[in-house]
Amino acid sequence: MFEDKEIRDIGNDAFGLALEVDSFIERYIHSDYDGSLLLSGKWGVGKTSFLNIVQSKINNKKCRTVKIEYWKNSTNINSQGYILKKISPWVYFSIAAFPFILTIVFAIIMGVLSLLKPEGDVSGVDILLWGVVASTVGVLNLSIPSFNMESVYDLVNKFIWWIYRVKKKKILLIFDDFDRLNYKEKNAVYPIFSDILKNPNVLVLVVGDYDILIKEKKDSLFVQKILGNIELMSENVDSKHVWEIFSINIEKEIEKEKIKPSDDDRMLFSEIKELFIQQERTMREQKMLFNQMKKIYFNKKINYVNFSEQLAMVYVFTFHYKQYQWIVKNKDRLCNINSTEQEAILNLAKADMGTQFDSIVFDFVFAIFNSQYKNSGIHPSIYNIEHFDNYRINIYMDGERHLTANQIEEIILEEKVEPIKSIFANEIKTREFISYLQRIGINNLEEKSLEALLVNLCFAFVESDFHSNSRTLFSSDPLERAIYIIIRDKNIDERKLLFNLIIADKRFDLSQKLFILPKFVKKNNQDTLQRGIVESLINKDNLVGLFENKKIKMIYMFYCTYRTNSDLDTIFDELLKLDNNRFYKILKKDFKSTIISTSGNYDVLYMQQIAYNSDFEKKLLSKIDELEEGKRAGLKEMIKEGQQW
């Protein structure tokens, strides 16, 4: 159960407001003070909670409390009528329904008279009486709309004030959230205030932010002439005290869940505290933060992420959503950041966010991703890009679930590709799957199950989009790590795995086999071995239907790297013979690489991955020149970017 955002009564008072409330009651309510008073404080500081405690402690024999909320009143009821409705609902509805009530009364009277009369024909007197009733009701229905009902309600209100004055009982009218009204709405209420304040036994308590009320010059006149006094909210609800309550609540949850925060957790927690106090967060805001943290971390992610890093992301998500969106969008720049890159990232954030950029928030963001806090965390840190999505908030709010150890074991033993494909379609589940292999290992797997797992991993990976934004095709990725874990644990020759399982499997086309090749046999230290495998794969038979392959770039890239057989040049030249539309689509989609940097993301074309020699490159550029202007310019810009990188 999440915390309420307001204190309902004295029993829920964690901020020590009771003494302040007692003083307030003695000075303004259980005293001769009348007139008006402004209880000032910004949104969420605890004004409503303060008033809830006031109402719970007031002596009802001495004071009647009536809460006025004009901003909630969506009907066309006028001001005096609304006040009467709040003070005495039965009186208000009696006046509003007077014609209907009168009709019923007349009908009852006529019915009683009819019962008392002897049976017989209807007399002329009866007809006359019914005519009088109908005429009276008709006249009332026609005339009441023309009455000034505001005057009627005003008169009734004054009578009620008089009754309370005779009883020596004060009326406390609380105008809550008065700063929500616009100037036109306030202007309609000012005369009502003046009339109410003429009554000596009435205290008008206006609740709102003084700074907002006087924002318009016309409103400052209201403050001067209508409000007799200003009461500021207690210091017990300033941001320092509010943080103390938040910290106590968090510590209780930590103890309950038997969490042992690391030194890094404590350091980052202190950074969050400083920002919380600096931004003067309120009672309501701390409860929002606590409830969000409880929902995201304590209920769902407690065994997957570091406590303070998650709290930091929840803080930004809750109070600075635009900045949170920017962080998610630019996670590749922020993760593994160093001090020399901070200025470039700040400039990029300023350009992207404009007036919404907040340097204080981004100083805090750098603290979240600062490597000095990443040494002793219990779980993988947000600092590393592969773990970033574990800390995202909206993914879990949308109902995505973690993979459990039992689920992963079942998927492995099932020996089917579809469940693994569903894992690779989700970055978070992919990370958890690899993490499981690292922690638990595959020692208990039989050889057949192990082989099935490897093949399914490879097949699922080549069909997923997980790797689509990799800077290079040889960078570390989940598939590479999974293969490494299996080879390490089982001490297996990766070349045998590649030939026996992947190259022999007809479900993989030529381009996919080449894509998987570097995961098993790397170029940097096994150049001769990799060359031999490429030569065996890229041959005339395997190149039939070249452009039907799912990853055409891989075939061209490896051919350009090793030029295995120049007799095959004519087959690769078929690219230049395609019609212009298909030629453009293949270059734009299949040969594109994406560069991720601190200055932005760039789609590029690397000529060295397409053209096997300079003559082919000239023909390729000539073919591009034949395209429409927009397409031609776009491809040339991608080639230019590729040359720079």
Which is higher by pLDDT, 439 or 582?
582
pLDDT of residue 275: 92
To which H or E segment does residue 191 belong?
helix 183-196
List, for residues 266-278, the tens digit of each pLDDT value: 888 999 999 999 9
pLDDT of residue 450: 78
Task: Kindly tell me if the per-residue pLDDT of 172 is higher than 80.
Answer: yes
pLDDT of residue 72: 60
What percentage of the chain reaches a pLDDT higher than 70?
76
Closest listed residue to residue 39, CA positions, set 231, 265, 241: 231
pLDDT of residue 312: 92
Which is higher by pLDDT, 136 or 479?
479
Beta-carbon contacts of residue 494 (< 8 Å; ≥ 6 apart):
483, 487, 520, 521
- Average pLDDT on 249-268 reads 87
Lowest mean pLDDT among 186-190, 208-212, 580-584: 186-190
The total number of residues shown for the chain amounts to: 645
Lowest mean pLDDT among 97-111, 342-356, 405-419: 97-111
List, for residues 585-616, the tens digit of each pLDDT value: 999 888 988 776 555 567 889 999 999 899 99
Q: How many Cα atoms sit within 13 Å of 20 on the Cβ side?
A: 20
Pairwise CA distance, residues 85 & 378, whole Å? 59
CATH of 10-234, one of 3.20.20.60, 3.20.20.70, 3.40.50.720, 3.40.50.300: 3.40.50.300
Query: What are the boundaries of each domain within the chain?
Result: 10-234, 238-362
What percentage of the chain reaches a pLDDT higher than 90?
11
Task: Kindly tell me if the per-residue pLDDT of 441 is higher than 70.
Answer: no
Highest mean pLDDT among 21-30, 212-221, 283-292: 283-292
pLDDT of residue 621: 93
- Average pLDDT on 306-318 reads 90
Task: Kindly tell me if the per-residue pLDDT of 471 is higher than 60.
Answer: no
Eight-class DSSP state of 374 = -
pLDDT of residue 489: 63
Task: Kindly tell me if the per-residue pLDDT of 398 is higher than 80.
Answer: no
Task: Kindly tell me if the per-residue pLDDT of 76 is higher than 60.
Answer: no
List, for residues 77-101, the tens digit of each pLDDT value: 456 777 777 777 787 777 777 767 7
- Average pLDDT on 457-474 reads 58
Average predicted confidence (pLDDT) for the chain: 77
Task: Kindly tell me if the per-residue pLDDT of 525 is higher than 80.
Answer: no
At 477, the pLDDT band (50, 70, 90 cuts) reads low
pLDDT of residue 468: 44
Q: How far is CA 69 from CA 83, 214, 458, 525, in A?
A: 10, 20, 64, 76
pLDDT of residue 346: 86
- Which residues is 38 bridged to in the sheet? 206, 230
pLDDT of residue 135: 64
563 phi, psi to nearest 5 deg: 40, 60
Which is higher by pLDDT, 232 or 377?
232
Highest mean pLDDT among 103-112, 116-125, 318-327: 318-327
Highest mean pLDDT among 57-61, 215-219, 468-472: 57-61
Map residue 578 onto helix, strand or coil.
Answer: coil
- Which residues is 231 bridged to in the sheet? 39
At 133, the pLDDT band (50, 70, 90 cuts) reads low
**Do 314 and 355 form a contact (C-beta atoms < 8 A)?**
no
Beta-carbon contacts of residue 92 (< 8 Å; ≥ 6 apart):
81, 84, 85, 153
Task: Kindly tell me if the per-residue pLDDT of 2 is higher than 60.
Answer: no
Closest listed residue to residue 240, CA positions, set 266, 212, 273: 273
pLDDT of residue 624: 93
**Do 243 and 284 form a contact (C-beta atoms < 8 A)?**
no
Beta-carbon contacts of residue 488 (< 8 Å; ≥ 6 apart):
none
| Sheet strand arrangement including 63-68 | 63-68, 170-175, 202-208, 35-40, 230-232
